[in-house]
Amino acid sequence: MKEIRRVPVTREASKATYDRISKYYDLVGLFENRYKALALEMAGFREGEKVLEVGCGTGWALERIARQVGESGKAYGLDLSPKMLEVARDRLQKAGLMTRVELVEGDATKMRFPGEMFDAAFSTFTLELFDTPDIPVVLSEIRRVLKPGGRFVDLSISRETVGIVTRAYEWIHDRFPQYVDCRPIYVERSLREAGFKITNTRRINILDLCGEIVCGLKEKKQVSR
């Protein structure tokens, strides 16, 4: 398995970048949201669930999660960028959903949530932003905050299929990581290595890049007799 590219961008630099583009990021959403909708469909969040979105950005998916969990549930949005969270807050307030949502500024490699807090977790186009050594750290944190039997659904650009477009994308990332900060990763493999039981995987085409939507389960502890 060929090593995935590194991401030589500091947290502070990434935070500054997303703060700077926060007011315009929904333009990117015009492209991303169709794929996020597929991931939400696979996740199938239910009334009353407590759900964490890692890298919630401007809140497009978080709004839909809040509707799905209903008044008896709760949606939590975690993001490194306070300016992105401001846009998300405006969106959710206009939708009348802030009573169902909690927005948290923070780093996914060291979450401030207690263990076994959430029924489910969700992430789209976020895991591939982390440097290679940080990916298992993030996944370990997500697994820690999930209840036994909890599920994690992730959508990321995948390196499982490498064609001309992927090679060109990686070439640009190698030379201009400050502008193209994400890169293809091994999604299903990463979740499995982090201890998730893979229950569903769907590969999708993202402008001739391979994408993976993967659902992983934190298995319940076996009770010895």
Which tens digits make up the pLDDT trace of 77-91?
Answer: 999 999 999 999 999
Report the candidate in 164, 154, 173, 159 with the shortest Cα–Cα distance to residue 208: 164
Examine residue 156 and state whether it is found in any structural domain, yes or no: yes
Question: How many domains, in total, are found in the chain?
Answer: 1
Helical axes 26-43 vs 60-69, angle rounded to 10°: 30
Examine residue 18 and state whether it is found in any structural domain, yes or no: yes
Examine residue 145 and state whether it is found in any structural domain, yes or no: yes
Q: What is the pLDDT of residue 12?
A: 95
Examine residue 68 and state whether it is found in any structural domain, yes or no: yes
Residue 77 in tokens: 């949005």
223, pLDDT greater than 70: no
Q: What is the pLDDT of residue 51?
A: 98
Examine residue 4 and state whether it is found in any structural domain, yes or no: no
Q: How confident is the model at residue 220 (pLDDT cuts 50, 70, 90)?
A: confident
Examine residue 119 and state whether it is found in any structural domain, yes or no: yes
Host domain of residue 210: 11-217
124, pLDDT greater than 70: yes
Examine residue 72 and state whether it is found in any structural domain, yes or no: yes
To the nearest whole percent, how much of the chain has pLDDT over 90? 92
Q: What is the largest CA-CA distance in the chain?
A: 57
15, pLDDT greater than 60: yes
Q: What is the CATH number of the domain that holds 108?
A: 3.40.50.150
What does the pLDDT look like over 27-43, one tens digit per residue?
988 889 999 999 999 99
What does the pLDDT look like over 197-215, one tens digit per residue?
999 999 999 989 999 999 9
pTM: 0.96
Examine residue 222 and state whether it is found in any structural domain, yes or no: no
